[in-house]
Structure 1
Amino acid sequence: MITTVTLNVAIDKSYVIDELKKGEVMRVCTCSKTPGGKGLNVARVINLCGEEVVATGFIGGYSGAYIESLLQEQGITYDFARTTSETRTCINVLDSEGNSTEFLEPGEPVTQPELNDFLDKFTQMITESDVITISGSVPKGINTDIYARLVSMVKAKGKKVILDSSGDLLKEGIKACPTMIKPNRDEVQALLNCPIDNWDELINSAKKLQNMGIEYVVISLGADGALVVTKDAVYHGKPPRIQPVNTVGSGDSMVAAFAVGLTRGYSIEKLLRYAIAVSTANTLTMTTGSFKVEDMKELYDQVSIISL
């Protein structure tokens, strides 16, 4: 089983419009609502991949109840800790030229007793899981060392853990040496406090992170795929050229696919190919954190894997 952690859950709304104009009334062509926060995107994709998944984190209020109803419709199992505050809403505006403009609410405060309730729940969930993913931001009231604490709890029980975050949460989190991280180029530069101007510097930077005790360092490269560095190998996986419909959630889809591949014991080459195929398939749908299995299968053999 895979457990996904989303401490800053949200209702994700996607608005499709013709053109975004500042200071004017915008008429929305279509609107979709999905359970959001990066970890719930991960859970949705894992479910589509055919693996058992349980989503956890914090929810509260009417928005939290609505998210649970959406997850039930999607057949996703959940076990959340409750808060007295209302779960946030985030909005993604997509125009006819393919531009994406996101409005992300910060998340209402979580109290110490509520955090303690989650930690008690999480402790039990670790024992039932093969792989755990920890994704995204945190609501107010939670210290930046929280992911390091969660990673340490998982590793103490001998389980695999993927951390996908940014800023101080990621800086603190990698001190606990998660099994895998998935930063982009800018996040790697911030982690190591040094510029990356070429391919060799990118690889060397990834190796520095791997040498800290992180088994898999995956650097997401957008349309150029991903770079994976392990103790013994460096691989670059690149997807075929496509015309994307909505790129939001592609990174979460990649995390989901890596979690699935680790659960299934895939080789590093197969792991990377599968992750890129799933991530790329996500860009062909309007729904955030979703893909069609037929798209993934068609893309799978078109992914190029190069050993560096």
Structure 2
Amino acid sequence: MITTVTLNVAIDKSYIISELKKDEVMRVQDCKVTPGGKGLNVARIVKLCGEDVLATGFIGGHAGAYVKEMLDEQQIPNNFVHTASETRTCINVLDEEGNSTEFLEPGASVSDKDIEGFLKKFEQIIDESEVITISGSTPRGVETDIYAKLIQMVKQKNKKVILDTSGDLLKESITAEPSIIKPNTDEVQNLLSVSDDNWEKFVDEAKQLQGLGIETVVISLGEKGALVVSEEGLFHGKPPRISPVNTVGSGDSMVAALAVGLKRNYSIEDMLKYAISVSTANALTMTTGSFKEEDRKKLYDQINVKRL
């Protein structure tokens, strides 16, 4: 089983409009609602990949109950800690030109009792899991070392853990040596103070990051694919050109596919190719954290993975 951790769950709303204009009333042409937070996007993709999944984290209030109801309807098993605070809502505005503007609420505070309850629940969940993903931000009231604690708990039981976060959470968590991290180029620049327009230096810094004790570093490069640094070597995978419909959730789709690849014991090359195919297929659908298997299969045959 693959377990996805989402401490800052959200109701995700996608608003489809013709054009975003300042100081005007905007009429929404269509609205899509999904259970959100990066880890829940991961959970949906894992299920679509055909693997057993469990979603965990914090939910609260009427909004949290609605998230659980949607997950139950999608037949995604879940086991949350219920808090007194209301689960947040995040909005993504998509216009006809393909522009995406996101409004992300910070997440209401959780208590020390909530955190203690989650740590106890998580201890039990690890035993049932083969791979665990930890994704996104944290709500107020949670210290920045929380992910490091979770990673240490997972590693103590010799399970695999994938981390996908940013900022101080990423800086503090990599010291716990997760199995895989998946920063994007901006996150690597912030972490290592390096520019991605200098490819040679960028690769060297990625190697240095992997040398800190992280088994595999996967750097998502957007339309340029992904760079992987691992004990097996250095690889670059690039997808074919596409006309994206909605790129939100593509990074989470890559995390999900990496988790599936770990569970299935794929080689680094096969795992990278699979992850890029799933991530790119997600960009061809309007629903965040979704893909069509026929799209993924077509893309898979067109992805070029090179050992550098």
Q: Normalised by the size of structure 2, how large is the TM-score?
A: 0.99
Deviations 1:173-228 (A, max 9, x none): 10100000011122112212344431111111110011000001000000000000
Looking at structure 1, the residues matched to 18 and 11 of structure 2 have their Cα atoms a distance apart, in angstroms, of 23
Aligned length: 308
Matches within 5 A, 1:1-308: 1-308=1-308
Kindly provide the CA deviation profile for residues 93-143 of structure 1, in whole angstroms up to 9, marking residues without a partner as x.
000000000000000000000100000000000011000000000000000
User: Within 2, Cα distance between the matches of 1:234 and 1:61?
Assistant: 46
Deviates more, 1:195-204 or 1:1-10: 195-204
Q: Is the 8 A contact 2:5 2:55 kept in 1?
A: yes
Where structure 2 has 5 or more consecutive residues not aligned to the other structure, the ranges are none
Of 166-175 and 190-199, more deviation after overlay is shown by 190-199
CA distance in 1, matches of 2:194, 2:133: 27
Question: Quick one: distance in 2 between partners of 1:195 and 1:290?
Answer: 31
Q: Structure 2 CA distance, aligned partners of 1:107 and 1:219?
A: 27
2:256 partner amino acid: A
Q: Tell me if structure 2 keeps the 8 A contact 1:261–1:271.
A: yes
CA RMSD of aligned residues (A): 0.7
Determine if contact 2:194/2:201 at 8 Å carries over to the other structure.
no
- Conserved? CA contact 2:274–2:300, under 8 Å: yes
* Percent identical residues: 69
SS at 2:123 equivalent: helix
2:243 aligned counterpart, secondary structure: coil
Unaligned runs of 5+ in 1: none
Amino acid at match of 1:52: D
Q: Is the 8 A contact 1:209 1:217 kept in 2?
A: yes
**Which amino acid in 1 is paired with 2:171?**
K
* 2:251 counterpart letter in structure 1: G
Match of 1:79, SS?
strand
TM-score normalised over the length of structure 1: 0.99
SS of the equivalent of 2:287 reads coil
What are the superposed Cα offsets for residues 231-289 of structure 1, whole Å, 9 maximum, x if unpaired?
23000000000100000000000000000010000011100000000000000000001
Q: For the residues of structure 2 that align with 1:88 and 1:103, how far apart are their CA atoms? A: 11
SS in 1 for 2:72: helix
The answer on whether the counterparts of 2:16 and 2:95 sit within 8 Å (CA) in structure 1 is: yes
Q: SS where residue 246 of structure 1 aligns? A: coil
Structure 2: how far apart are the matches of 1:291 and 1:190?
A: 30
**Further displaced range: 269-278 or 226-235:** 226-235
Q: What SS does the corresponding residue of 1:21 show, helix, strand or coil?
A: coil
Q: Secondary structure at the match of 2:35?
A: strand
Aligned-partner Cα distance in 1 for 2:232–2:99: 39
Does the CA contact (< 8 Å) of 2:151 and 2:176 recur in 1? yes
Q: Which runs of 4+ in 1 moved over 4 A?
A: none
SS in 1 for 2:305: strand
The SS at the match of 2:207 is helix
Q: After the TM superposition, which of the residue ranges 25-34 and 185-194 deviates more from structure 2?
A: 185-194
Aligned to 2:173, what secondary structure does the other structure show?
helix
C-alpha displacement of 1:73: 1.2
Q: Is the Cα–Cα contact under 8 Å of residues 185 and 202 in structure 1 kept in the other structure?
A: no
Contact 1:93 1:101 in 2 (8 A): yes
Contact 2:194 2:202 (C-alpha < 8 Å) held by counterparts: no
Q: 1-side partners of 2:72 and 2:92: how far apart?
A: 23
